[in-house]
Each structure stands twice: as structure tokens, then as C-alpha cells.
């Protein structure tokens, strides 16, 4: 059976005959639907999502990096985006010149003016999307507490789709982001602490480096956040992020569907991405930019 999420093959319960391997003959009715990437974007050199695909994680790509990813110079003609991400293409190298911002799947870029003109591009979290930051070990989500005073500690809570648990990831320059809570508008703040076990807090955005977080893709949906003030790559107090797609809707009582393996099934909605956080992960770290 083929659908929007992929091709599913059902095998008989009993082997038709004894053999070490079997050959399957697949017959399709129409074109096999292209899959939406779980994160980032997939770029194609031909319209209609055709040609060798380049899979792009969050980050900036100059011409050479695009070629290494599998996309020739000024050849971008169609684009698929994971929910919660956007792509900005540039006519010049190193993200300079005329720009085009793409926020949805585009089977043909000719209508945008950017077809076969993108020399470099940037893949980033869409600033209009919200995320859920969930501890992978205990399943609890990062919670602001809602209507609380500036300087209040952040905590964790069972996911109930409350706005307290929704976070925006907004780029602030230099590869850093601010994490904005949907309920109270305050941002996650490291408070300048450098010791293990220090509490993260929240405050109104003031552009301070305490409130800026670096998020680095480490593969398998895992991301780092690293403090700007610690030169040692083995930084203390590290926290990891794991991102998976999840629609976030406004109804507090809504609960996302979860499959038996723990993956969240996407549902419809404007806010379309989930962050899952793992403590002391060997894959990744997350910390503030603050100077000691």
C-alpha cells in the first residue's frame, strides 16, 4: 500500500516455501508520492521534485557546500520542507545578494523568481513555529509556569498542549537562538551560571548572551546547545535537544497520537514542530552564550 507517508509491504504470515531470501515484485498505480523530510529540507535540481536530491539540515550552505550535498550551482528548481522549517535562497555566495524565502513545499520555483538562481542558502527553524521541549528519559516537557515573575525557574511538566509548554526558536544572529515561551513571552535564560546542576530561568528578552542558545545538528534528530563563554568543548551543564515533527494546536485538552515505538504522529495545525530534550546526552549539548 502506498500513501503520503511511504510504501508499506505486508508479507504473508507463513513462508510460501523454504528459502534464504525472497524476491518481491512491486506494481504501482501512478507515481510514488515523495516523502516529506522529518527535519530540514530536501532540494531538487528539477521541477516536480525530480533529479538527485540534496538533504539539508539546519545551517548555512555556500556554493561548495551545496555541491558536496549533491546540488549543483544555481540548479535549485523544487523544494520540500519539513514542518516548522524554512529556507532562504540567495543569488550570491555565502548568503549574499537577492534573497527568496520559502516556507512551504514548492514543486516548481519558476513562479518565485528564484528558479536556477540560488547560489547559496540557509535552512532554519521557521520563526512562526512553536516547539515542545521534552526530556527523552522521563517524557516531561519544559514548562515556563505561565504567568510568573521574571527570574522564575523553568520546570518540567507532563505534556498537555498548554501554551506554557510551547516554545519558539528565533534566530538572533551569529548562529544563536532565543527560546520564547508562548504563554508569557519570556525567554529561557541561563542566568550566567556555570556550575553543574544550575537552574535555567526565564526573563524578558534583553539581547543578553545569557539568553542566546546555539543549536547544532548531531544527526538522528539530535541537536546541541553550547555556551559561548566556555572554550572547553566538554562543557558542564550541557543539555541536548531532539527534534521531531509534532503539530501543536491551541486546545489544551488535545493529546498527540503516539505510536508503540514512542514516535509522535503528526497532526494538523499551524505550529508544526517538536523539540525533545535529553539530559547529558553523548550526542549533543545545549547551553547559553553568556560570558562568565
Where residue 202 sits, what CATH number does that domain have?
A: 2.80.10.50
- 190 shares a domain with 77: no
Alpha-helical regions (H) of 19-62: none
Containing domain of residue 161, as a range?
A: 130-279
The number of distinct structural domains making up the chain is 2
Ranges under pLDDT 70 in the chain = 1-6, 28, 30-36, 216-292
- 169 shares a domain with 74: no
On whether the CB atoms of residues 172 and 159 are closer than 8 A, the answer is: no
- 142 shares a domain with 179: yes
- Helical (H) or strand (E) element with 148: none
- Helical (H) or strand (E) element with 69: helix 63-69
- 190 shares a domain with 162: yes
Q: Does 216 map to a domain? A: yes
Q: Does 10 map to a domain? A: no
Measuring CA to CA, which residue among 226, 232, 126 is closest to residue 175? 226
pLDDT of residue 228: 52
- 240 shares a domain with 214: yes
Q: Is the pTM of this model over 0.85?
A: no
- 172 shares a domain with 118: no
On whether the CB atoms of residues 151 and 196 are closer than 8 A, the answer is: no
Q: 84 — alpha (psi -120 to 50), left (phi > 0) or beta?
A: left
- 146 shares a domain with 255: yes
pLDDT of residue 157: 94
The model's pLDDT over 168-209, given as tens digits with 9 standing for 90+, comes to 999 898 888 999 999 999 999 999 888 888 899 999 999 999
Residue 78 grid cell: 523544487
- 252 shares a domain with 148: yes
pLDDT of residue 165: 96
pLDDT of residue 135: 81
At residue 11, the 3 state secondary structure works out as coil
Amino acid at each position: 500500500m502506498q500513501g503520503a507517508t511511504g510504501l508499506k509491504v505486508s508479507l504473508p504470515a507463513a513462508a510460501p516455501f523454504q528459502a534464504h531470501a525472497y524476491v518481491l515484485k512491486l506494481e504501482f498505480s501512478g507515481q510514488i508520492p515523495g516523502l516529506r523530510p522529518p527535519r530540514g529540507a530536501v532540494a531538487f535540481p528539477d521541477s516536480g521534485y525530480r533529479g538527485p536530491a540534496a538533504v539539508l539540515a539546519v545551517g548555512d550552505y555556500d556554493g561548495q557546500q551545496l555541491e558536496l550535498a549533491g546540488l549543483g550551482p544555481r540548479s535549485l528548481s523544487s523544494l520540500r520542507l519539513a514542518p516548522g522549517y524554512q529556507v532562504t535562497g540567495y543569488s550570491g555566495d555565502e548568503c549574499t545578494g537577492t534573497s527568496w524565502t520559502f516556507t512551504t513545499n514548492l514543486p516548481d520555483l519558476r513562479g518565485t523568481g528564484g528558479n536556477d538562481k540560488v547560489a547559496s542558502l540557509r535552512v532554519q527553524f521557521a520563526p512562526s513555529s512553536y516547539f515542545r521541549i521534552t526530556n527523552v528519559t522521563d517524557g516531561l516537557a519544559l514548562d515556563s509556569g505561565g504567568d510568573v515573575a521574571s527570574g522564575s525557574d523553568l520546570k518540567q511538566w507532563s505534556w498537555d498542549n498548554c501554551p506554557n509548554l510551547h516554545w519558539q526558536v528565533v534566530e538572533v544572529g551569529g548562529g544563536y537562538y532565543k527560546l520564547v515561551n508562548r504563554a508569557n513571552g519570556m525567554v529561557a535564560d541561563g542566568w550566567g551560571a556555570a556550575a553543574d546542576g544550575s537552574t535555567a530561568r526565564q526573563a524578558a528578552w534583553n539581547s543578553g548572551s545569557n539568553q542566546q542558545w546555539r543549536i547544532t545538528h548531531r544527526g538522528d534528530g539530535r541537536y546541541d546547545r553550547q555556551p559561548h563563554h566556555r572554550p572547553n568543548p566538554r562543557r558542564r551543564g550541557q543539555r541536548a535537544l531532539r527534534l521531531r515533527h509534532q503539530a501543536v494546536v491551541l486546545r489544551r485538552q488535545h493529546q498527540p497520537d503516539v505510536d508503540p515505538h514512542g514516535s509522535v504522529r503528526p497532526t494538523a495545525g499551524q505550529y508544526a514542530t517538536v523539540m525533545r530534550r535529553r539530559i547529558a546526552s553523548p550526542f549533543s549539548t545545549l547551553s547559553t552564550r553568556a560570558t562568565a
